[in-house]
A = this chain, B = another copy of it.
Amino acid sequence: MSEELKLKNQVCFPVYNLAKEIISLYRPILKDLDLTYSQYIVMLVLWENEEQNVSEIGSLLNLDSGTLTPLLKRLELKGFIERKRKATDERVVSITLTEEGRNKKEKAECIPTQLVEALDISIEDLSELKRITEKITNQINKIK
């Protein structure tokens, strides 16, 4: 059999697999905060900038409205965010944090440390992982 089609020689599979593995490490930690991983990265974006459009969140996280609309509705239902159409442009839905959503940030502060501990990986390996994945993502986005 041709070597290239063997699972062990695939390039994407290890990345796809690692993403799932890391997310599964996040899962129990995030459960205490009542957040899924996808909800968590949306909250990260909002903690950094408390008011953003759906499309702004989408372009930061590479998620479209088909993913974000229901996800944001779930965050709204839990009382972490508010969704309001802009008066100046009714097409735009502006997302803001509620008091509860803002307060969650303090509880979240320890997550990056907890995760690095759960990973049990050297800082060197982590930064190399970050460097190479970002490099390749940038290169992909350049040609698109």
Contact = CB atoms under 8 A, between A and B. Distances in A.
Nearest to A140: B21
A6 B137 contact: no
Contacts of A7: 41, 44-45, 48, 60-61
B44 A108 contact: no
A9 B112 CA distance: 9
A77 interface: no
A17 B137 contact: yes
Nearest to A109: B2
Nearest to A2: B109
Interface string A123-144: 0011011101111110111010
Nearest to A127: B11
Interface string A1-26: 11011110111111111111111011
16 contacts: A4-B109, A5-B105, A7-B44, A7-B45, A7-B48, A11-B22, A11-B130, A13-B41, A15-B133, A16-B37, A17-B133, A21-B140, A119-B136, A119-B140, A120-B140, A132-B132
Interface of A: 1-2, 4-7, 9-23, 25-26, 37, 41, 44-45, 47-48, 60-62, 105, 108-109, 111-113, 115-116, 119-121, 125-126, 128-130, 132-137, 139-141, 143
